[in-house]
Amino acid sequence: MKWTDSIRGRLLLWLGLLLAAVLSGFGMAAYQLQRTQLFAGMDEELAELVSQLSQEARGTPPSGGREGREPGFGGGGPGERMPRDREGPDRDGFGGFDEPFGPPGPPPDFEDRSPDDRELKISSELMKRLGDGQEAGFAVWRRGGTLRGSNLIPVPNYPSRAGHDTLVRFRHRGHWREAYHFTEIGECVLVGRDGSEEIAELHRAGIRLGLAGVGVLAIGLGGGWWLATRSLQPIDEMSRTARRISEGRLSERVPVGSPDSELGRLATVMNTTFDRLESAFDRQRQFTADASHELRTPLTLMISEAQTVLSRDRAAADYREAVEQCLEAAVRMRDLTASLLQLARIEGELGEASTFELRACVRTEIEALGPRIESSGVRVDTDLLEVVCLGDAIRAGRVVANLLGNAVHHTPPGGRVVLSMERDDVFVVLVVEDTGSGIAAEDLPHIFERFYRADKVRSRSEGRFGLGLAICKAAMEADGGSIMVSSKPGSGTRFEVRWKVDEAEC
């Protein structure tokens, strides 16, 4: 069996996929947040350096020195940052600022001055911050792309400009992070620094996040395996118990942990099923043993009679007597097998949606037993109702015939048998009550069992098999009804048979 075919395997698969999706999303979000924070700090520093370098590059007079600067252009002194939005920097997708540097309009002090004639001079303080070109550096281009000055080796490519854009833009060049800005007169100022340390830190953070995710996934799968195994343990125990029962150990039962839980209710239902299964097997074994015993007696009698008459020559009367005894035994076997087939047929039938009129059924069976009733000296009284019941008319006739026959048989001459009916909106009850000898209390729980006889010696001698009441019970169960008995020794017996009333009658 594949591991995905088991409930445990499918649960772990779904748990693993869910954990992997959640951890992947969380890891990507955390990685992106750390990346944004790392480059945000770097971009802030580069933007400040570009601002200062741009001011010094534009404020340097042609012959050098700072004396000739006009303070009105580009803000204050050389160390001052270029003006920004009063709400703070608002970067675009590349981290650029939305406001151009400097006041709007053409710079007044450069209207008659050629940028190609100006010498690039940078203060020593700013040069310390710009670096020596190894880990950080700068480059300034004149309008048109001619390099004005740089300490970067090799010199980076001249950035492209979209229209008259004067925002600070950012770009990656290998592991370098660079910020550049085009001034109003067309010069380009670029500052860059080596981002290897930040990139390495970002990679280390990614590895830490990955290892943490793998650890959480492993712990989650381990916990899921333990929880699934513990939750499915009762199912495994049920499977093992069912296997032992299938091997013939019918007394085994599934342990019920918590009766109110789903598995507890399932275990209870299974145990009930196993109880019925064991009971059915017990009845089958008892039935087989009883049927074998009942058939063995007439067969033994037939064999014995045949052997006796064949042992020597006898008179015709002896042969006739032997044949009559064999015939009597054969009739007994025929009646027994007919009763067994009748019982088996009833138990194998499914209750069909049919109806019958109960009063007519009872009268038919009374007429059929008329000769036997007359010869017994028992009076039969009736108090019947006209009612249509749900069930099979043939099965109902067998029930009435068996109960009436038993009542007449166990009632002494001069006694009385009463058949009456009671009904409500759902059920009708046929009551068969006699004034016979009654049934002992210890026999009452067993009278519906196959081959059970309260008076075993008398019943066997009279050719009774103990199947009549078993047939009655099977017939009532097939029709969705019930049969009950109450009795007092010496006072008679009362049977109550209950059928459902047809809805059209309600």
pLDDT one-digit tens code per residue, 206-255: 999 999 999 999 999 899 888 888 877 888 888 888 888 888 787 888 88
* pLDDT over 50 (residue 6): yes
Question: Of all residues in the chain, what percent carry a pLDDT higher than 90?
Answer: 26
Residue 239 Cα to chain centre, angstroms = 18
Residue 443 Cα to chain centre, angstroms = 49
The mean per-residue pLDDT over the stretch 102-130 comes to: 60
> Would you list the domain boundaries of the chain?
3-201, 245-279, 283-347, 349-505
Q: Options 3.40.50.150, 3.40.470.10, 3.30.70.1290, 3.30.565.10; which CATH number does 349-505 get?
A: 3.30.565.10
Task: Identify whether the C-beta of residue 367 lies closer than 8 Å to the C-beta of residue 334.
Answer: no
What pLDDT is attached to residue 117?
53
Which residues are 427's β-sheet partners? Answer: 500
Specify the pairing of strand 355-357 against strand 379-383. Answer: unpaired
What pLDDT is attached to residue 68?
32
- Per-residue pLDDT of 82-94, as tens digits, reads 433 323 333 333 3
Question: Of all residues in the chain, what percent carry a pLDDT higher than 70?
Answer: 82
Question: Mean pLDDT lowest for which of 7-21, 64-78, 140-154, 285-299?
Answer: 64-78
User: Distance (Å, rounded) from C-alpha 496 to C-alpha 486?
Assistant: 9
- The mean pLDDT value of the chain amounts to 79
Taking the complete model, does pTM exceed 0.85, yes or no? no
Q: Which residue is associated with the tokens 């038919």?
A: 364
The mean per-residue pLDDT over the stretch 466-475 comes to: 85
* pLDDT over 70 (residue 81): no
* pLDDT over 60 (residue 461): no
User: Distance (Å, rounded) from C-alpha 336 to C-alpha 167?
Assistant: 111
The mean per-residue pLDDT over the stretch 303-311 comes to: 82
User: Distance (Å, rounded) from C-alpha 166 to C-alpha 98?
Assistant: 9
| Total residues found in the chain within this entry | 506
| DSSP single-letter state for residue 416 | E
Which residues are 496's β-sheet partners? Answer: 431, 484
Q: CATH assignment of 283-347?
A: 1.10.287.130
Task: Identify whether the C-beta of residue 131 lies closer than 8 Å to the C-beta of residue 178.
Answer: no
Q: Is 419 helix (H, G, I), strand (E, B) or coil?
A: strand
Task: Identify whether the C-beta of residue 57 lies closer than 8 Å to the C-beta of residue 74.
Answer: no
* pLDDT over 80 (residue 412): yes
What pLDDT is attached to residue 317?
85
What pLDDT is attached to residue 455?
61
Task: Identify whether the C-beta of residue 124 lies closer than 8 Å to the C-beta of residue 130.
Answer: no
